[in-house]
Structure formats: structure tokens, C-alpha cells
Chain A
Amino acid sequence: GQQVQQSPASLVLQEGENAELQCNFSTSLNSMQWFYQRPGGSLVSLFYNPSGTKHSGRLTSTTVIKERRSSLHISSSQTTDSGTYLCALGGRNNNAPRFGAGTKLSVKP
């Protein structure tokens, strides 16, 4: 089955609202990475966060290994945050990261 599940599949917000994106995984974790995929397709690495909480501006990533989940919180959303957010789980022994299906975020003005 799918190793990485992302939810929700899509999310529509009004500008200024907060967003909580989830990534749940079924296998053991060696790494967890969050990406923003631009409409043109290129990837922007947001966080490399195998465990704990990391902050970057309006973004916060929290990974709880025991609960097999990672979240991406976007505060005070802006229209420029619109796009697809991907999480990628890396297994142990340098296995290649596996991506979730993504959350498509749309922020309305």
C-alpha cells in the first residue's frame, strides 16, 4: 500500500487564514522533507525535518516519529502560497525518498 498519505488533497483558504497540512507514513522513518511545487513544476525545499519542530518565517514543520506523522503549518496565508505542497519520506538504509500525492492549496484574496 501507499507508504505516504497526505491530507487534505486540496484546501481553499481566504488570505490571512492558517493552514495545517498533514503527512502520515506507514514505514520507519529516516528522513522527512517538505516541498513546495511551483505551478511550473520545479521543487522548492521547505524543510528537512526527521523529528521535532522547525520554523521558517510563517512556516512550521513538526514531525512526531512515534505517531508516524508530520505536519506543515502555514500561518497568515497569502495568495502567493497557492500551489502544491509535497512531503517525502525517506526510509532507512539510504532508501530513496517516497513522495505523497500532495496537497493543492489555493489562497483567495
Chain B
Amino acid sequence: GPKVLQIPSHQIIDMGQMVTLNCDPVSNHLYFYWYKQILGQQMEFLVNFYNGKVMEKSKLFKDQFSVERPDGSYFTLKIQPTALEDSAVYFCASSLGNQAPLFGEGTRLSVL
């Protein structure tokens, strides 16, 4: 069946560097989401994106975060600069709208 792919599965970077997390959503999906889960903690909503715009974001979506999906390619989450507390697993999801979102396997980000 259709899948949401997240690349890479694990990324390690030094604090203060920029990182871009990539998500390849299902091709005909219109809504895109990012979630953050710190190890052992709750899955937290970050942002959702539709028609080239941020529709909704949470307090966790700091100024250092940005999202885009240029020309229907990857849906990306950029963090610049990174901080130690950004270490977490980031999950991407996509949906058609009033249907269950499909989730990727997550990217584990380790900020050293």
C-alpha cells in the first residue's frame, strides 16, 4: 500500500548546526504533518501544512523551525540552529483530508 517515507532514519549533528528532515509523502495527499516524540514521552504535534502554507502550529514549533514542500517534492522540516532539546524522533504524516493520516517510520535526531 501507499507509504510515507522518511529520510534518513537517524541523523546526528552538533548543536548549533542546521538540519533538514525529509519526508516523502503519499503522492496524492494534500495535508502534511510533523510530530515530535522525545524518548519515553508523548507524541506531540508540531505543525500541519496545506496548499503551501502552515495551517496550524503548536507552541513546540519554535522560530528556529520551518517547513516547506517546494514544487511537490519532499516535505521538509528545517531546524536552524539546533539545540540539545531538539533531540527526539520526528514523525511525518500525510493525508487526503478527512481520512486517517499515514505516518512514516520517523527520523531519530540526535543533537550533540
Where the two chains meet, the residues of A that have a C-beta atom closer than 8 Å to any C-beta of B are: 30-31, 33, 35, 41-43, 45, 48, 86, 88, 94-102
By beta carbon, the residue of chain A nearest B95 is A94
**B42, A33: Cβ atoms under 8 Å?**
no
By beta carbon, the residue of chain B nearest A45 is B100
Complex CA gap A97/B103 in Å reads 11
Which residues from chain A contact B42 at a C-beta distance below 8 Å?
A: 99-102
- Minimum-distance CB pairs A-B, first 9: A48-B100, A99-B43, A96-B48, A42-B105, A43-B103, A101-B42, A96-B33, A96-B45, A41-B89
**B43, A86: Cβ atoms under 8 Å?**
yes
Nearest-neighbour CB distance to chain A for B71, whole angstroms, equals 23
**A43, B91: Cβ atoms under 8 Å?**
yes
- The 24 listed contacts between A and B (C-beta, < 8 Å) are A30-B98, A31-B100, A33-B100, A35-B103, A41-B37, A41-B89, A41-B105, A41-B106, A42-B105, A43-B91, A43-B103, A45-B103, A48-B100, A88-B43, A94-B31, A94-B97, A95-B48, A96-B56, A96-B101, A98-B45, A99-B35, A100-B42, A102-B42, A102-B43
Chain B: interface residue count, which band? 20 to 34
Which residues from chain B contact A101 at a C-beta distance below 8 Å?
A: 42
Which residues from chain B contact A94 at a C-beta distance below 8 Å?
A: 31, 48, 50, 55, 97-98
Would you list which residues of chain B between 86 and 112 have a CB under 8 Å from chain A? 89, 91, 97-103, 105-106, 108
